[in-house]
Amino acid sequence: MDINNIIKDLISGLSPRQKDIIEQRFGLNGKKRTLAAVGNKYGLTRERVRQIESASLKSISEKLKKNQAASKIIEDAVSHLKKVGGVMRENVFLNESRGLFKTNTITGEQLKFIFEVFKNPLHQIEDNNFYAFWYLDKEFKKLAFDFINKLEKFIADKKEELITHKKFDELFAQVIKSHNIKDFVALNYASISKKFGVSPFGDFGLTRWEEITPKTARARAYLILKKHSAPLHFKEIAKKINELKLNKHSALYQTIHNELIKDPRFVLVGRGMYGLSEFGLKPGIAKDVIARILKTKGPLHKEEVVDLVKQERFLKDNTILLNLQNRRHFKRMSDGRYYV
């Protein structure tokens, strides 16, 4: 299917100026231009350009009804949208249209032009809440919006289940069941909303969660440590941020280190290594860790203290033992055990 020839045929009855205005307004030969930009070229007001555009589209509309190839494009596009729930994100629809119409040269502008003339499917421009998408009618649009709202409310308090416990399939299936739609239709609906996203690690969730959309150096460091589930050196954290391309610019390890120091969620476990407090790590230097262990466990031999401290901190044995010898903080019993 040669869409260029179809469009040439549709605009063939227009005057040279009408053709140029239509091509510029719809970006058929390059960048789409505003009413003001086109008006400046011809010395016309925006309203006059709008009138010429409207009259030209009316003329093209009459011709489109008689053009079998153009009508087939509309028919196939409508049929495809119905199969996927009557709504589809613009960039996805364009990619699938290339396969549908067996051409790799078709552009979004060309599709918009034909659909605009025929007034079906309908187009929703991108805004703060939605990506640009195509839809068949208000009913299909409402179905998509209702599902999106239900999904958002349902997963709002299920961050850990989605991200830590990987229960996306199970939770998504519950929402789908209540709407009586197929899973691919539900995913299609969710894809038009900016409320949902997928993290660099492939986790689905709300874009307002920093695990899904980490916007700061601190959030990116948190995401790396949460997914790694074990302490890392601050330089290694910066390296992983850069490997995943979470930053527009290369993350500096000094910047990451500063963020780790400032946030109580991050716990220094020794030798520049940091972990997360949510994994049970407690803040404090070596003597604080020893004191907490002795208060919790009671008197212990030095070997036991060393083993327990090393479960929480990357410290050398001698460092732990030197701290244990501090008589201001720790006492030694006659049997060799230490207490606070």
Percentages helix, strand, coil for the chain (3-state, rounded to 5) are 55, 10, 35
Rounded Cα gap, residues 10 and 51, in angstroms: 19
Positions of E strands within 190-271: 196-198, 204-206, 232-233, 266-270
Domain 3-68, CATH number (from 3.20.20.70, 3.60.15.10, 1.10.10.10, 2.60.40.1180): 1.10.10.10
CATH T-level topology, domain 286-339: Arc Repressor Mutant, subunit A (1.10.10)
pLDDT, tens digit, for every residue of 132-153? 999 999 999 999 999 999 999 9
DSSP state for residue 193 in the 8-state scheme = B
Tell me what the pLDDT averaged over the chain comes to: 92
| Six token digits for residue 323 | 């701290």
What residues have CB less than 8 Å from 315, skipping those under 6 apart? 270, 271, 286, 309
pLDDT, tens digit, for every residue of 35-92? 999 999 999 999 999 999 999 999 999 888 888 888 888 999 999 999 999 999 999 9
- SS3 of residue 135 by DSSP: strand
Architecture of the domain spanning 217-279: Orthogonal Bundle (1.10)
- Low-confidence stretches of the chain (pLDDT beneath 50): none
| Six token digits for residue 1 | 């299917």
What pLDDT score does 1 carry? 62
pTM recorded for the entire structure: 0.78
